[in-house]
Amino acid sequence: MSDKPKATRSSTRTKAQPAVLPTTSRTTRAKAATTTKSTATAVPPSLPPPPPKKSAARKPLVNRGNTDASDPPSKPPSKTTATGRKGTKIVNTFDNEREPIMAYLRIRPALTDDDSTTSPYLTPLSDTTVRMADPQDHQNLASRFRSSNITPSSTYTFSHVFPPATSQSDFFTKTTLPLVRDALEGQNALLFTYGVTNSGKTYTVQGGSSEGSAGIVPRTLDVLFNSIDGLQGDSRYRPVRLHGVELADASDSKAPPVAPEPGLEGVLDQMNSLSLNDLDIDTTAIKLDRNYEYSIWLSYAEIYNEKVYDLLDSVKDTQGTRVNAFPQSNSSSSLVLARTALAIKPSPLSDSQDASITGKYIAGLRQFRVHNASQAKSLVKLGQLHRRVFGTLANRESSRSHGMVVIKIMRCHRGEKNDPTAVQISRLTLVDLAGSERTKHTHTTGDRLKEAGNINKSLMVLGQCLETLRSNQKRLAVSLSQDGEGKDGRMDTRDVKRGLAIVPFRHSKLTEVLMDYFIGDGRTVVIVNVNPYDTGYDENSHVMKFAALAREVYTTPAPAPVHQAPVITGPGKLQGKVIKKLGPLTLNDPEVVPKPFGRKVTLSMGGGSSKKQSEAVVEVLEVDETQDKSNTDEDDDDDMTINPFVDELFDEIEYLRLQLFEAEMRCAIIEADTREEVMREMEERMANMEQMYRKRLMKEIEQNELKTDAKIDMLHQSGLFASPVKKPTRPIADDISEDEEDEEEIDRSLISEETEEQSTSGEEFDFGSDQDQDDDDSAASGSPLSGKGKASVRNSITKRQSTAPREIRESLAFVPDAPMVPSDTEDAAMSDEDEDEDEDEEESTATISEDEEDSEAEENDDEDEDEYVPDPVPKLRTKSAPRVSSPSPTRKSAQAKFLTSKTQASALEQEMDNMTINDGGGAPRASSTGAKKPRRVLGKTPIVTADQMDAVAMAIDKRIAQSGGGANVRRLRLS
């Protein structure tokens, strides 16, 4: 009797939320990756864990080989202590049992040519870390403006990373074999795959069709039956509900319906090749205590559209008759298949010793005792077929249902075969989750976000549950460490637990069914499947985050419960209950069939090289679970424990949560739309700006052309082109610039014209005459420059404005206002003006600010531009044209400047009058550069040498400098 398995559930297992020390290493990102590297090498997580101690009352498993090295070091198996803030030792009775959820990453290999040419966005960095970088980050505009918080590159840490080349056998050995061992030794275990569509979840769980590709489920069955070979007993009991056992009846000894119904088999066999490879057998065997007898029970459920269905139930028509003949394509009527959803119920208190165990079971889920692996695999195969018919045909592209293979292992000591309290039942649940993607191959941000609304509710709630569990565990650990102070290490966790958040297991069928695993009824493993060639970078980022979250949740692996007092249910009662649930359906009975939901699916068959393809239409009726009135007393008791107010609150929370989710989705969609709109608008604006600048450029080019034309016209009008002068005939001084040449050309031509005019009028104009003559002329005309010759010079000077140095133009051509336009008389008068007034004017000129000068320069520039279109010559003479302008400070200073300029001009004229220009034979009167040869001789035109021109320029400069306007001129020159 010493080996008799006791009711081993320790009191600590009753804690709903296992405590956990605040973890210092968040395992998600690179930071964690770097901190965990050293420990990861110490305990390679890839190694299979060492076999646990064989014991009926199993010790909690800690420090297992597959424990993530990045997690805080596990406590010793004995009572552990935590140190409070002031060093008080706190007894933490949970620490020795807790264990993080294991998360393994499996990277799918490249399957198509497209895949192999694309570079994967997932790079394994080590055995435990991967780097994920968005391949389109630099090209994709949407990713640049991504509205979500998804980063373009991240490093994630897992319990172990399996590269694409990992074989199915290797993967099974490192991830699932430890769980199979646990289950055989009486411990519950859960494994589920998580990933987007096409990432390899089904391949991982069920396997492929090639040799060696058998997945986790068939290998698990192989290992189980290899291990219990010779240890199978003929127990009088069978498992019921979650933890309970009851007396078996005669039907249990019958072979399970391992083959699909005849009619369906014919169709389905041809639809697709089945994934389970019967020839692919795993030969691994686990050494077990041979004092025990074992029996294996199998059930297969599906959660589809938030309803739970039994995949091992016979396919029936609406009359409840088993389908034996499948309609062919030529059949006039389509077959209507019906199935009823099963209810999820709380596990009765009588099934377990501990009232706080709040697990739930699928009421009415059929389970079959299987005697060998082949039988078991056939059942799984049948379930797969039913899943295809009822589930995935609604969406051929992807599995949208969660497939759940539940294997129950019942063991009892050989010496206590008839003692129901000695029976121990453990569960191993293998789940192939539906694709977690929010969308499939949608390329635009808006569409992708819109499809995000279709996220599978079950998976979302699963994530929420893990999140809540994690935060609760952290809070609990912190509270425990604080409460322990000053209490001699004793603590009461009840108060602490009252403040914890409610884990929303009830919000989805998936989490309801699996909840007992998360609250400490077994070990949990998450397998994350990723297809690194898929375009769903964002979706895969969510998957990675889910895995990271899962790794921060601690579960409490513990021995499966032994029922306290077996409910010996008579076969009739049990059978009747099952028959009531699975029996014939009558559509007229509203109680039995509350809300039938129908959909049509078309099955194709044949179509091979030799066979003709045919189709059959099957109408599937899915019925909600019945409100079973025939609950046992235990069930009723359990239902009573559910507080309706809490139920209401849950509903309210669920409603609010959905609303929040919808609102967030709407926000995200609006944000994405707005971003797109703004982008479009920006692009439009940029295009418009480009067009506008192009137009402006063209306009400027046109204007420049016009200016050039105007210049040419000027030159024409000045007679330069009319009486072309051959350049080679005149000597050109090397240091004379092009502009100066032009000016001189104009001057000479004007002087020539003037001289001709003089000669024709008989009037001799002598540049070399004395000052008296000039004075006479001045007196005759009332102005020193009134003579024709002077006028000519003046014209010449005016002409020079267009090409002369800027300062000269400034000083000579500036015409601020019409009333101030100088006439020759005014010039003379101005020259006689009061000296004080002149000084004032000069002063005001000197105080012209830089800005004003600039603005004036701009004005002058504008005026210059104006002068070119379309008749330049009159424009040059617009000095006398009246201008209307309102006086302004700028204008005033401009006027002052004009007066200065005018003074300068008068002085210049005077200077020029005083100059004596020698004839061709004479030497220049003033020459700073020495004597130079006359440039040319034009008829009777007096010859002006270069030296004379230089002398004139120098004189102008000098004069301007003397008159005080030099500062402005110099500034202008500088500008």
Ligand X SMILES: Nc1ncnc2c1ncn2[C@@H]1O[C@H](COP(=O)(O)OP(=O)(O)OP(=O)(O)O)[C@@H](O)[C@H]1O
Could you list the residues known to form a binding site for ATP, using ranges.
195-202
Spatial contact of 445 and 677, defined as CB atoms under 8 Å apart? no
How many residues touch ligand X (CB under 6 A)?
16
Cβ-based neighbours of 60, under 8 Å, separated by 6 or more = 77, 96, 97, 556, 557, 558
Interface with ligand X, residue 435, by CB under 6 A: yes
Indicate the helix (H) or strand (E) that contains 315: none
User: 120 or 484, CB closer to ligand X?
Assistant: 120
Q: Which of 15, 58, 64, 108 binds ligand X (CB under 6 A)?
A: 108
- Find the shortest distance in angstroms from Cβ 199 to ligand X: 4
Nearest to ligand X of 387, 408 (CB atom): 387
Identity of the residue, 309 or 898, whose beta carbon is nearer to ligand X in the bound complex:
309
Among 23, 197, 235, 468, binds ligand X (CB under 6 A): 197
Q: Per CB under 6 A, which region of 14-22, 199-207, 458-466, 497-505 contacts ligand X?
A: 199-207
Nearer to ligand X, 199 or 350 (CB): 199
CB 434, min distance to ligand X, A: 6
Closest CB to ligand X among residues 195, 789 = 195
What CA dihedral angle connects 29, 30, 32 and 36, to 10 degrees? 140
Question: Which residue number places its CB atom closest to ligand X?
Answer: 200
Using an 8 Å Cβ cutoff, are 506 and 519 in contact?
no
Question: Pick from 121, 156, 203, 390: which binds ligand X (CB under 6 A)?
Answer: 203
The interface mask with ligand X, positions 207-236, x = CB under 6 A, is -x----------------------------
Query: If binding is defined by CB under 6 A, does position 72 make contact with ligand X?
Result: no
| Residue placing its CB nearer to ligand X in the complex, 178 or 536 | 536
Query: Among all chains, which residue has been given the structure tokens 């809540």?
Result: 468
Q: How far is the CB of 399 from ligand X (least distance, A)?
A: 3
Of residues 256-285, those binding ligand X (CB under 6 A): none
Window of 191-199, 343-351, 376-384, 848-856 that interacts with ligand X by CB under 6 A? 191-199
Q: Reduced to 3 states, what is the DSSP secondary structure of residue 378?
A: helix
SS (H, E, C) 935-946: CCCCCCCCCCCH
Q: How far apart are CB 264 and ligand X at their closest, in Å?
A: 21
Alpha-carbon gap, residue 822 to 203, rounded angstroms: 101
> Please, which of residues 146-175 interact with ligand X by CB under 6 A?
none
> Which 513-572 positions form the footprint of ligand X (CB under 6 A)?
529
Least distance in Å: CB of 106 to ligand X?
Answer: 7
**Burial profile 39-61: b = 16 or more Cβ within 10 angstroms, e = fewer:** bbeebebbeebeebeeebebebb
Query: Contact at 8 Å (CB) between 356 and 395?
Result: no
Q: To which residue do tokens 């004995």 refer?
A: 78
Which one, 279 or 640, has the nearer CB to ligand X? 279
Q: Which of 10, 136, 329, 398 binds ligand X (CB under 6 A)?
A: 398
CA distances from 842 to 846, 851, 889, 971 (A): 6, 18, 16, 15
Indicate which single residue of 54, 76, 111, 705 sits in contact with ligand X (rule: CB under 6 A).
111
Task: Tell me the pairing of strands 614-623 and 335-340.
Answer: parallel
Q: Which of 74, 187, 202, 626 binds ligand X (CB under 6 A)?
A: 202
Query: Closest approach of Cβ 427 to ligand X, in Å?
Result: 23
- Smaller CB distance to ligand X: residue 215 or 522? 215
Distances 43 to 20, 66, 591 between C-alpha atoms, Å = 21, 8, 58
Q: Does 200 bind ligand X (CB under 6 A)?
A: yes
Residues 790-809 binding ligand X (CB under 6 A) are none
Distance between CA 959 and CA 911 in Å, rounded? 8
Q: Which of 109, 266, 596, 606 binds ligand X (CB under 6 A)?
A: 109
Q: Please, what is the minimum distance in Å from the beta carbon of residue 170 to ligand X?
A: 11
Cα(617)–Cα(598) distance, integer angstroms: 13
Distance CA 401, CA 388 (A): 10
Choose between 202 and 904: whose C-beta lies nearer to ligand X: 202
| Position among 13, 75, 146, 201 found at the interface with ligand X (CB under 6 A) | 201
DSSP labels, 36-97 = HHHHHHHS-TTSPPPPPP--SSPPPP-S-TTS-TTSPPPPPSS-EEEE-TTS-EEEETTTTT
Known binding-site positions: 195-202
Torsion of CA 924, 927, 929, 934, to 10 degrees: -20
Region binding ligand X by CB under 6 A among candidate stretches 1-9, 198-206, 604-612, 788-796: 198-206
Q: Which stretch binds ligand X (CB under 6 A): 201-209, 497-505, 507-515, 819-827?
A: 201-209
Binding status of residue 814 toward ligand X by CB under 6 A = no
Query: Cα 236–240–244 angle (5° rounding)?
Result: 85
195 belongs to the binding site for ligand X (CB under 6 A)? yes
- What angle, rounded to 10 degrees, do the helices at 457-483 and 537-550 form? 30
- For the CB of residue 198, give the shortest distance to ligand X in the complex, in Å: 5
Shortest CB 648 distance to ligand X, Å:
36
Give the nearest distance from C-beta 321 to ligand X in angstroms. 32
Helix axes 177-184, 168-175, angle to 10 degrees: 50
Q: Report the Cα 325 to chain-centroid distance in Å.
A: 52
CA 220 to chain centre: 39
Please name the residues in contact with 585: beta carbons below 8 A apart, sequence gap of 6 or more: 316, 318, 319, 320, 338, 340, 592, 593, 623
- Identify whether the C-beta of residue 775 lies closer than 8 Å to the C-beta of residue 894: no
Query: Quick one: which H or E segment has residue 382?
Result: helix 373-390
- Residue 213 C-beta: closest distance to ligand X, Å: 7
* Shortest separation between residue 376's beta carbon and ligand X, angstroms: 21
Nearer to ligand X, 208 or 924 (CB): 208
Residues that bind ligand X (CB under 6 A): 108-109, 111, 195, 197-203, 208, 398-399, 435, 529
